[in-house]
Structure 1
Amino acid sequence: MLWEIVLLALALFFAFVFFVAYKMTTPPRRVKNWTPKDVGLEYEDITISTTDGLKLKGWWIDRGSEKTIILLHGYASSRWSFYIIPMIETLAKNGYNVLAFDFRAHGESEGKYTTVGDKELIDLVSAIDWLKREKPNSANRIGLVGYSMGAMVAIRALAEDERVCCAVADSPPMHLDKTGTRSLRYFANLPEWLYPFVKPISKMITGTREVHPITYADKIKKPLRLIAGKKDPIVKVEEVREFYERNKEINPDVELWVTEAAHVRTIQLMPEEYKQRILQFFEKYL
């Protein structure tokens, strides 16, 4: 009888862990009615075909420039995020073309599972391919603004795609396991000790590989602005600073801005200063 109880308890535990892993890899889709036209911007609804067979949905805002900025949302978010929408308006009304799209398994894009920074690089590279093919005169200079998971992808692209000139990475996770552990509590309100059980099942479900952005600190030699918040419960300032200190040894154009904000909330804490700093960065480097 005791062994039966133990086996039943273990079965229930691993069933629960599998459920948690499944839910974490299939975040809720956040879609709203807002479009760039609501702030007076003409736009196109676009579909981007990824190299691994998915269709991603997005917006293209053409301002007649040779410079385009691509906006990259975070995990469990979309192009309707509270930080993407104001950046669309700010960048476009200052003369930049803007491309915003939903990563796989988010918003209106296809894809069953998110891989939190692994296959999302395929999404970004495919978006740049689309831009170069469909809007070649608008793609002479390409910059990125990424948030959380999108910041991870921006950092990877800065190192791996020569077509990207510069990037802003807001609240970028640096260590997969540390961020994953904290995210379990932040997104699911579950104890952090569950993470070692959830992680391998998540990898099995998605077929993903581990991405540790900190390793890119020794590779990037292009302009990069890092933004970290002291009240961020997911990404610690010390971790972003570690990346900054390592990267500045080989990259004279890396910058770090530390604020009092929570995760990706600097744009809410100090909206006007935030927008001006982003614009100044791209005026300088793009």
Structure 2
Amino acid sequence: MSRTLSTVAGITIVAVNLWLWRVPPGNLVGNQALFNRALLLGFQTFLFAFIGFFIADSVSRFWWNRWRPVDANAVITRKVIVTLQDGRRISGAMHEPAMPASPASRADLVIASYGFNDNQFRAMHVAQALAAAGYRVFTWDYRGRGETPGKITDLEGHVADLRGLVTHFYQAGLGSLHNLHLLGWSMGGMASIIAGLADERVDKIFAWSTWSDLRKRVLWRIYANPFALLRYFFKGELLHVSRSMNVRVSPVHYFDTLARCMGCKEKVVALARDKLFLCHARNDTLVGHDNFVENVRWLQLPRENQITFKKGSHLMIRKEPALIGLACRHFSGTGGRTA
């Protein structure tokens, strides 16, 4: 599909250049030099656009280096390949404290899930901080990331894989695990909520910058932004979410489904109050703060289960220490606060 769209885009660029240079199609017949000129100008336009996005991506990668993990004796990181019950192989990394953990968090496992544009490298700043605090943290490659086969746009597949990871680690560590927690942001927050809220094996869930209704409150922001649209288009990662899929990958619709399965909304509210902590920034322009408000209102989350930052944007820039502290507090069962 992405190759077809790229071909159409290339033909469109050539056609637009023909029009801009006022070259009638009839003049191209038998005039190879004129055709080559139009083709060259079309390629030049594409090249300039590609270089622009390449430079932007390079700057982005440089910016992300601010989170480059620092080698420390406090954390041990090892590569792990997990084989799920359905035979799928998921590559990941286990981050563990080098020193014995405190009794309150001994052997607790946190499965960390990142955002759509992220990867394990961009999740290590969170994983290693939690590991230094005494938790075992597993980061993993989504479908289409790292060594895990598939496509990053397979949102339902990511949820299924996270459920499979919960099953794998629960069965593998049934005698040694103290608790199993889920942590995630943006798309990872969605996956953590949908995969873990109703799962009795999951003790706590900590999520930030996640959406409530993907089609209604997020996708239009991407489609309305030409730079974001072209970026995802050229990378072959443009999301196409049907109405039926949206129900399955949007937390607020998942809450409705769960309420029907459990018999009433009050049971879902009580479940979320016991397990879930949500965070968001008011100036998040990608997944707007209205997503946070909708999730909180549906779940009737108490103030001790939520926090709103005035700034930080979608990436919660410079809020990482607060997030780690709140996550540790939530996982240990001592609650949180709202600011």
User: What range is the shorter-chain TM-score in?
Assistant: 0.7 to 0.9
The RMSD of aligned alpha carbons is: 3.6
Deviations 1:158-217 (A, max 9, x none): 3332211111111011111121221345695339xx9xxx98x9359xxx9322211244
Tell me what 1:20 maps to: none
Contact 1:230 1:262 (C-alpha < 8 Å) held by counterparts = yes
**Larger deviation: 153-162 or 129-138?**
129-138
Q: CA deviation at 1:53?
A: 4.1
* Structure with greater helix share of residues: 2
Change (3 A) 1:89 1:148: same
Q: Is residue 272 from structure 1 mapped to residue 310 from structure 2 by the alignment?
A: no
Tell me what 1:104 maps to: 143
Deviations 1:21-61 (A, max 9, x none): xxxxxxx9x9x999979333223311122455432110123
**What is the one-letter code of the residue matched to 2:110?**
I
For residues 43 and 113 of structure 1, the distance between their equivalents in structure 2, rounded to whole angstroms, comes to: 25
Change (3 A) 1:37 1:239: closer
Q: CA deviation at 1:141?
A: 1.0
Tell me what 1:24 maps to: none
Q: Which has the higher contact order (CA 8 A, sep 6+)?
A: 1
Q: Is residue 245 from structure 1 mapped to residue 286 from structure 2 by the alignment?
A: no
Change (3 A) 1:279 1:246: same
The structure whose Rg is larger is 2
Q: Is residue 71 from structure 1 mapped to residue 71 from structure 2 by the alignment?
A: no
Give unmatched runs, 5+ long, in structure 1.
1-10, 17-27
Q: CA deviation at 1:14?
A: 10
Instruction: Map residues 185-264 of structure 1 onto 2, 5 A cutoff.
Output: 188-190=227-229, 202=240, 209-210=245-246, 211-217=249-255, 218=265, 219=268, 221=271, 222-248=274-300, 255-259=305-309, 260-263=311-314
Change (3 A) 1:239 1:94: same
TM-score normalised by length of structure 1 = 0.73
Tell me what 2:128 maps to: 89
For residues 37 and 157 of structure 1, the distance between their equivalents in structure 2, rounded to whole angstroms, comes to: 31
Q: CA deviation at 1:114?
A: 2.5
Q: CA deviation at 1:109?
A: 1.7
Instruction: Map residues 7-156 of structure 1 onto 2, 5 A cutoff.
Output: 15-16=8-9, 38-40=71-73, 41-63=75-97, 65-81=106-122, 84-116=123-155, 118-156=156-194
SS in 2 for 1:119: helix
Q: CA deviation at 1:275?
A: 2.2
Change (3 A) 1:95 1:68: same
For residues 149 and 68 of structure 1, the distance between their equivalents in structure 2, rounded to whole angstroms, comes to: 20
**What is the one-letter code of the residue matched to 1:109?**
T
Contact 1:166 1:224 (C-alpha < 8 Å) held by counterparts = yes
For residues 60 and 144 of structure 1, the distance between their equivalents in structure 2, rounded to whole angstroms, comes to: 14
Deviations 1:101-158 (A, max 9, x none): 1111123322135323x22111111212221233334434111110100000111023
For residues 213 and 58 of structure 1, the distance between their equivalents in structure 2, rounded to whole angstroms, comes to: 25
SS in 2 for 1:234: coil
Change (3 A) 1:119 1:141: same
Tell me what 2:41 maps to: none
Count of matched residue positions in the alignment of Structure 1 and Structure 2: 247
For residues 151 and 126 of structure 2, the distance between their equivalents in structure 1, rounded to whole angstroms, comes to: 27
Identity %: 22
For residues 143 and 6 of structure 2, the distance between their equivalents in structure 1, rounded to whole angstroms, comes to: 29
For residues 133 and 277 of structure 2, the distance between their equivalents in structure 1, rounded to whole angstroms, comes to: 19
Change (3 A) 1:226 1:203: closer
For residues 132 and 187 of structure 2, the distance between their equivalents in structure 1, rounded to whole angstroms, comes to: 26
